[in-house]
A = this chain, B = another copy of it.
Amino acid sequence: MTTGPITGSAKGYLDLADVRGGRVPYRRVPLADGRHVDLYDSSGPYTDPDAVLDVDRGLPPRPGVIGGLGTQLQRARDGVVTAEMAFVAAREGLRPRLVRDEIAAGRAVIPANHRHPESEPMIIGRAFRVKVTANVGTSNLASGDSTLEDMVWSIRWGADTVVDLSTGRDGDRILRNAPVPVGTVPLHQTLETVQGDPAALTWEAFRDTVVEQAERGVDYMTVHAGVRLEHVPLTAGRVAGIVSRGGAIMAAWCLRRRTESFLYTHFDELCDILAHYDVTLALGAGLQPGSIADADDAAQFAELRTIGGLAKTAKARGVQVMVEGPGHLPLHVIADNVRLLDQLSHGAPSYAYGPLTTDVAPGHDHIASAIGAAVTAQAGTAMLCCVSPKEHLGVPDRAGLKEAVIAHKIAAHAADLAKGHAQTQQRDDALSRARFEFHWYDQFALSVDPDTARRAYEVSNSVGPAKLAHFYSLRISNALGHIGEQST
């Protein structure tokens, strides 16, 4: 497990006077000129050299966490600024009332199960910094500890939440050590209880899994309740069929049973369970297109309309809800898709894998995805789900997981800049200033990946001064003192 400070920065905490025991983490990057830049920090105690880490005991619970008083949505509607709202307001550098109002309107969520006090609250919504999430536990061979390592590794590089796809094998171990919200797809674990046969699934088996996971502290659950029996035939003419695993399972269930989806028919009951724990509902796009060819088709839109209605129902029952956007879209339809999803879901925050903007990038799918992710986030998508370089070829290794997180952090950052986020711009400006003044180590520390930046520089340097001399000789010998290194 990789722990310790991120190169070139130190962990700091902002004490919240008005929140019992709350302290908001950040990363401080000291600069050569004596100033510093403070960065949003999702990495948890794992980057704090003073933290006592014991994965068998788990992280210490955050003090001041009070559960059982309803969901963040219900409390926001009552006009309350909860401890979690105060925490994320400080973290985002915004007023607590703005946070409360966005949550009350259903335009943002704080995924914070009452039973996951180890988590540092964060917010997902278009008025806030664009978030990034990473899948962990994707490998059958993975032990609980390797899933835990993947989680710590993902948040080290900036993942704001993780989705644990290990189907519950070691879910408690992840949750007790997770300083970020943990999402799941409970249908996956349920399927294992019925020996992998979709037709054997029942509402009761699903409900039991949901309750078990909610008790454990899962913060948000992806549920493909928008896949209805009548939608399934709409996918018949597709090039890539149904690529969402949850969507495919539910489509199989509906077809074999010739019955409406139990997720749809028991939706109210599901909402009431989620509300009890304040589990945030993520309405998964089970019929999202799996290729450029299938983008914007009838199945996608039919499900989308259903999801919009379900989002409304969930919010009416006090459940925090977010909705999934499509994962494969050509560039020119992305912004329209975001607008439509926003409209049909009555402003619920949205998240998306990618979208991948072309199908021809296997081995480099993180780039095809980062392009779409930046554009969709600029248009309002609130959280980006990481697509790894070999997304369609196999499960990512450690290096691939990092590549995926970094690519989507860059996309999120580019979107934040485009949305006019002031703190984001400060970081870019500080880095540009460091570059201009040849403060190389400031550059590394301010980058999304200090280790890679530094290594790249040192490799070039080690080749000999002659090689680098060409690179910036002109910067040194010019009239302005300002001659650049780049391009032509």
Which residues of B have CB within 8 Å of A479?
198-199, 251-252, 255-256
Residue A36 CB within 8 A of the other chain = no
Leading 5 A-B pairs by shortest Cβ distance: A394-B460, A241-B482, A243-B484, A248-B483, A291-B432
Which residues of B have CB within 8 Å of A244?
484, 486-488
Contact assessment for B357 and A417 in the assembled complex, using a CB-CB cutoff below 8 Å: yes
Contact assessment for B374 and A371 in the assembled complex, using a CB-CB cutoff below 8 Å: yes
Interface positions of A from 400 to 445, Cβ below 8 Å from B: 406-407, 410-411, 413-415, 417-419, 425, 427-429, 431-433, 435-436, 443-444
Q: Give A166-202 as 1s and 0s: 1 = Cβ < 8 Å from B's Cβ atoms.
A: 0000000000000000000100100000001111000
Question: Nearest Cβ in chain B — how far from A361, in angstroms?
Answer: 5
Given contacts A290-B436, A389-B456, A392-B486, 7 further A-B contacts (CB under 8 A): A198-B477, A248-B474, A248-B480, A358-B417, A371-B414, A392-B443, A394-B459
User: A243, A357, A362, A397 — which one has the most chain B CB atoms within 10 A of its CB?
Assistant: A362
Contact assessment for B431 and A360 in the assembled complex, using a CB-CB cutoff below 8 Å: yes
Bound CA span A483–B290, Å = 11
Residue A226 CB within 8 A of the other chain = no
Residue A17 CB within 8 A of the other chain = no
Which residues of B have CB within 8 Å of A357?
374, 410, 414, 417-418
Residue A242 CB within 8 A of the other chain = yes
Pull 8 A–B residue pairs with CB atoms less than 8 Å apart, ordered by A: A240-B433, A240-B484, A291-B428, A358-B410, A359-B428, A361-B410, A364-B449, A393-B443
Bound CA span A330–B244, Å = 33
Residue A139 CB within 8 A of the other chain = yes
User: A185, A240, A284 — which one has the most chain B CB atoms within 10 A of its CB?
Assistant: A240
Bound CA span A393–B440, Å = 9
Contact assessment for B371 and A433 in the assembled complex, using a CB-CB cutoff below 8 Å: no
Bound CA span A359–B433, Å = 10
Which of B249, B290, B432, B484 is the one whose CB lies under 8 Å from A359? B432
The interface-forming segment of A56-64, A266-274, A465-473 is A465-473
Bound CA span A284–B251, Å = 55
Residue A461 CB within 8 A of the other chain = yes
Which residues of B have CB within 8 Å of A471?
138, 394-395
Which residues of B have CB within 8 Å of A372?
414
Contact assessment for B477 and A196 in the assembled complex, using a CB-CB cutoff below 8 Å: yes
Contact assessment for B242 and A456 in the assembled complex, using a CB-CB cutoff below 8 Å: no
Q: Give A340-376 as 1s and 0s: 1 = Cβ < 8 Å from B's Cβ atoms.
A: 0000000000000100011111111011101110110
Which of B246, B411, B418, B449 is the one whose CB lies under 8 Å from A488? B246
Bound CA span A470–B447, Å = 35
Residue A292 CB within 8 A of the other chain = yes
Which residues of B have CB within 8 Å of A242?
480, 482-484
Residue A90 CB within 8 A of the other chain = no
Bound CA span A410–B368, Å = 6
Interface positions of A from 241 to 285, Cβ below 8 Å from B: 241-249, 251-252, 255-256, 284
Which residues of B have CB within 8 Å of A251?
478-480, 483
Contact assessment for B240 and A425 in the assembled complex, using a CB-CB cutoff below 8 Å: no
Residue A140 CB within 8 A of the other chain = yes
Contact assessment for B392 and A482 in the assembled complex, using a CB-CB cutoff below 8 Å: no
Interface size class, chain A: 35 or more
Residue A332 CB within 8 A of the other chain = yes
Contact assessment for A410 and B371 in the assembled complex, using a CB-CB cutoff below 8 Å: yes
Contact assessment for A239 and B292 in the assembled complex, using a CB-CB cutoff below 8 Å: no
Which of B361, B362, B394, B444 is the one whose CB lies under 8 Å from A362? B444
Contact assessment for A284 and B488 in the assembled complex, using a CB-CB cutoff below 8 Å: yes
Contact assessment for A474 and B245 in the assembled complex, using a CB-CB cutoff below 8 Å: yes
Residue A165 CB within 8 A of the other chain = yes
User: A293, A294, A463, A469 — which one has the most chain B CB atoms within 10 A of its CB?
Assistant: A293
Which residues of B have CB within 8 Å of A378?
331-332
Bound CA span A367–B370, Å = 8
Residue A34 CB within 8 A of the other chain = no
Q: A370-B367, A436-B239, A480-B255 are in contact. Are A353 and B487 (CB under 8 A)?
A: yes
Contact assessment for B407 and A364 in the assembled complex, using a CB-CB cutoff below 8 Å: yes
Contact assessment for B429 and A293 in the assembled complex, using a CB-CB cutoff below 8 Å: yes
Bound CA span A485–B199, Å = 19
Which residues of B have CB within 8 Å of A485?
243, 245, 392
Residue A143 CB within 8 A of the other chain = no
Which residues of B have CB within 8 Å of A447?
360-363
Closest to A256 in B: B479
